[in-house]
Amino acid sequence: MVSMHAMSYSLAFFFFAALASAQLSPTFYETSCPGALYTIQNAVRAAVFKERRMGASLLRLHFHDCFVNGCDGSILLDDTPTFTGEKTAGPNNNSVRGFDVIDTIKSQVEAICTQVVSCADILAVAARDSVVALGGPSWAVQLGRRDATTASFSGANSDIPSPTSDLSALISAFSKKGLSTTDMVALSGAHTIGQARCTVFRTRLYNETNIDASLATSLKSNCPSSGGDDNLSPLDAITPTIVDNFYYKDLVNKKGLLHSDQQLYNGGSTDSQVTTYANNFAKFYSDFAAAMVNMGNISPLTGTSGEIRTNCRKIN
Share in percent of the chain as helix, strand, coil (round to 5): 50, 5, 45
Give the E-state strand segments of the chain in sequence order: 195-197, 232-234
Alpha carbons 203 and 27: distance in angstroms, whole number: 46
Alpha carbons 194 and 40: distance in angstroms, whole number: 21
Strand-pairing partners, residue 197, are 232
Residue 259 a catalytic site member: no
244 is in an annotated binding site: yes
What is the arithmetic mean of pLDDT over 72-84? 95
pLDDT of amino acid 13? 47
CATH architecture for residues 35-160? Orthogonal Bundle (1.10)
65 is in an annotated binding site: yes
86 is in an annotated binding site: yes
Q: Write out pLDDT tens, residues 25-40.
A: 999 999 999 999 999 9
Alpha carbons 204 and 267: distance in angstroms, whole number: 17
Q: Which amino acid is at 246?
A: F
Residue 311 has pLDDT above 70, yes or no: yes
Q: Confirm or reject CATH 1.10.15.40 for domain 167-295, answering yes or no.
A: no
Annotated catalytic residue: which of 5, 62, 64, 259? 64
Going from N- to C-terminal start, the domains of the chain cover 35-160, 167-295
Rounded to the nearest integer, the mean pLDDT of the chain is 94
Taking Cα atoms as reference points, which of 203, 237, 241 lies closest to residue 220? 203
Q: Which pTM value belongs to this model? A: 0.92
Phi-psi region of 298 (alpha: psi -120 to 50; beta: other; left: phi over 0): beta
Q: Write out pLDDT tens, residues 283-302.
A: 999 999 999 999 999 999 99
- How far is the CA of 248 from the CAs of 59, 174, 187, 278, in angstroms? 18, 19, 12, 5
236 is in an annotated binding site: yes
Give, rounded to a whole angstrom, the gap between the first and last alpha carbons of the chain: 51
- How far is the CA of 44 from the CAs of 20, 144, 230, 253, 303, in angstroms? 30, 20, 25, 33, 27
* Confidence tier at 23 by pLDDT (50, 70, 90): confident
51 is in an annotated binding site: no
